[in-house]
Structure 1
Amino acid sequence: MKKAIALSYEEQMQAPKVVAKGSERVAERILEEALQHGIPIRQDKTLVTLLDAVQVSEQIPNELYGVIAELFAFLYQLDQTGISKK
């Protein structure tokens, strides 16, 4: 089953939060929106499984801070080099 989860983080936030999630057709729509807006997509089934327990608009749990921080740092580097805009 295809699943997608969208995260958002801004400096004033205490932690990243889930802004969208869904399966099958909803997941496809989330991915389409990300592609249309130049938002990088990362495939990680384990992380999706962990984040699936988080409700939309909720912050990620403390246990995931480290892995999400690494992900966001990687995405930031891609953005700085222009790779994520492809």
Structure 2
Amino acid sequence: MSADEDPRRRLAVALHYDHAGAPRVTAKGRGVLAARILELAAEHGVPVEEDAALAEALSQIELDREIPIELYEAVAAVLRFILMARGR
């Protein structure tokens, strides 16, 4: 198993976007916490986009803070993915 496949190193970051301002980081964690974030996403039908570099960048943002302008384009791509996954 490579380091990237090691569940203890897995990283997950959750965003919330309510169309007011920029998306906010609402949860983040590694290992067991990352697994729980992904589990909750699956339970609630939230699409998951895997992008290790973006997740790492987003993990540096404090909880409940808007994403910085430097990440707008990358996060917009994720939002497009989610909208397409939901058929919109």
Structure 1, unaligned runs of 5 or more: 82-86
Cα-Cα RMSD? 1.0
Return the TM-score normalized by structure 2.
0.86
Report Cα offsets for 1:49-77 as digits up to 9, x if no partner: 11111011000010000111121012111
Report Cα offsets for 1:19-50 as digits up to 9, x if no partner: 00011011010000000000001111100111
The answer to whether residue 15 in structure 2 is matched with residue 7 in structure 1 is yes
Q: 2:79 aligns with which of 64, 72, 82?
A: 72
- Give SS of 2:48's match: coil
- Give aligned pairs, total: 80
Q: 1:60 aligns with which of 57, 61, 67?
A: 67
User: What is the aligned-residue identity percentage?
Assistant: 36
Counterpart residue number, 2:52: 45
Return the TM-score normalized by structure 1.
0.88
Structure 2, unaligned runs of 5 or more: 1-8
